[in-house]
Amino acid sequence: MAKESVLTQQEKEAFTIERFIFHIIIESQPAPIYLEEVTLAEDQILFFKQRFIEISEGIQHVFVDPENSDFVKNCQKLIKDPEQEFIRISKLLSASFKSHHKKSTVDGVFISSLVKTLGDRYLIFLLKLDNRKVYQYKTKNSKALLREIKDTFIEDKKAIQKSALVDISEHYSWDVLAKERNPGKDNRIRSYFADFLTVKEKDTPAKLTQKALSSVRKWAIANRAELDPANDISTYKNRAINYLSNTPIFKVEDFITFVVNDDDELRMDTLFRSLKDSCDQDGLSGQSFKPNAGSLSNALKKNIRKTNEGVRIEWFGETQDSLITIPKEKDKNDNLFHILIRTSSIEILD
């Protein structure tokens, strides 16, 4: 079954740049200026590998019609025979990108790179860089010797204006992770970029909102021994609900920080890392969307506990708000959990 997750840290660390080229995009010229070869020094290879690691999270997309997509066909050819096809396909991709950008664009370069990761799987990285300094290099016979491009990146990483990680295998449930420095409406990639990639978003904001809440719930149950002893699992679930009900745009780092907030810095760091792993596995990391609070039904918000005797306890929010006390350990005298529920009245429902 295809994996919902984004790339693991191990997969990112295993990146090996097999092929790398860029072509120059100048607004005033109808077509890109094509290069035939780019020479990367060892330190530049390490530098770009780190950039690829940084951008290998993004909004998950799937191909709209892969069988009839020229973009997909070109990516398949590139991976099947990089020796013969890489430069040719990189030119086609650069030209296609420029043709889809009908409005004015900042001069820059369009990078294509073939990267290998664990399991000898190949990924394609595509980047549009907006910065005149980016392409200050020496060219000779359509070859480029990078000299200032690395320093420019270090000075201003915002030069990465658009990026896409393409996986044409069926290893993941998504096909493309894409993001922009200046996204469009509701933090989505702009329509011309999506048209260039021939993709649509894999999940709706409503589904992602539900997935974020589910991820926290599963994580809290699995890591209950590591949680703040003063808090119930419902505390973390309620924080997730509050974040998803009040934030304009979901950002996974902000979401995790809000959920695991803890006065104990060491414990908070541990919880942050474990919840980040959970979000990675559930494909939430890198996603950016406007949460749909309306998709969080009462059934999803409700907390339910069931005793060994078949007694069900249901409530919303945190336990203390409903005057419920559920101990985490059994009483030493009788080896039983002593659950306390305080109330001003009891209604008979059945």
Say if residues 189 and 178 touch (Cβ distance below 8 Å).
yes
Whether pTM exceeds 0.85: no
Q: Of 201, 217, 239, which residue sits at a domain end? A: 201
* 262 within domain boundaries: yes
pLDDT of residue 245: 96
pLDDT at 124: 97
221 and 180 within one domain: no
Cα 43 from Cα 49, distance rounded (Å): 10
C-alpha–C-alpha distance, residues 25 and 23, integer Å: 7
**Do 207 and 201 contact (CB within 8 A), yes or no?**
no
For residues 167 and 123, membership in a common domain is answered with yes
Q: Do 173 and 2 meet the contact criterion of CB atoms below 8 Å apart?
A: yes
In this prediction, residue 155 carries a pLDDT of 45
Check if the beta carbon of residue 215 is closer than 8 Å to that of residue 237.
no
> Do residue 239 and residue 193 come from a single domain?
no
Kindly state whether residue 288 falls inside one of the protein's structural domains: yes
From the list 82, 96, 75, the residue with the least C-alpha distance to 32 is: 96
* Stretches in the chain below the pLDDT threshold 70: 1, 103-104, 131-158
Number of domains making up the chain: 2
The alpha carbon of residue 75 and the mean position of all alpha carbons in its chain are separated, in whole angstroms, by 21
Task: With respect to residue 87, please indicate whether it lies within any of the assigned structural domains.
Answer: yes
Residue 223 belongs to domain spanning: 204-350
Instruction: Determine the distance from the C-alpha atom of residue 183 to the mean position of all C-alpha atoms in its chain, rounded to a whole number.
Output: 15
- HSE (CB half, 13 Å, CA atoms) of 275? 30
C-alpha span between 196 and 64 (Å, rounded): 11
Last residue of a domain, one of 131, 166, 201: 201
pLDDT in tens, 186-203: 778 889 999 999 999 999
Residues 219 and 310 reside in one and the same domain: yes
Asked whether residue 310 is assigned to any structural domain, the reply reads yes
Is 257 found in the same domain as 187?
Answer: no
Q: Is residue 49 part of a domain?
A: yes
322 and 227 assigned to the same domain: yes
pLDDT of the residue at 272:
97
Transcribe 29-43 into DSSP letters: SSSPBP-SEEE--HH
| CB 205 within 8 Å of CB 288 | no
- Those residues whose C-beta lies under 8 Å from the C-beta of residue 145, and which sit 6 or more positions away, are 39, 137, 138, 139
Are 46 and 140 members of one domain? yes
Residues 143-198 pLDDT 10s: 655 554 544 544 455 678 899 999 999 889 999 999 888 877 777 888 999 999 99
* Domain-embedded: residue 240: yes
pLDDT of residue 151: 47
Q: Is residue 173 domain-shared with residue 218, that is, in the same domain?
A: no
Q: What is the DSSP letter of 189?
A: P
| C-alpha to C-alpha distance for 153 and 165, rounded to whole angstroms | 19
As beta bridge partners, residue 130 has 108
Distance CA 8, CA 15 (A): 11
- C-beta contacts of 338-341 below 8 A and 24+ residues apart: 339/307, 339/313, 341/313
Does 244 share its domain with 317?
A: yes
Q: Is 306 helix (H, G, I), strand (E, B) or coil?
A: strand
Residue 3 within any structural domain of the chain: no
The Cα–Cα gap between 159 and 106 comes to 11
Q: Which residues lie closer than 8 Å to 27 by C-beta, 6 or more apart?
A: 104, 105, 106, 107
In a domain, 2, yes or no: no
E strand or H helix at 253, and its extent?
Answer: helix 252-260
Angle at which helices 70-80 and 82-100 cross, to 10°: 160
How far apart, in whole angstroms, are the C-alpha atoms of residue 257 and residue 247? 13
Residues 344, 260 share a domain: yes
**190 and 227 belong to one structural domain:** no
**Quick one: 98 and 147 in the same domain?**
yes
Last residue of a domain, one of 186, 201, 216: 201
C-alpha of 263 from chain center? 28
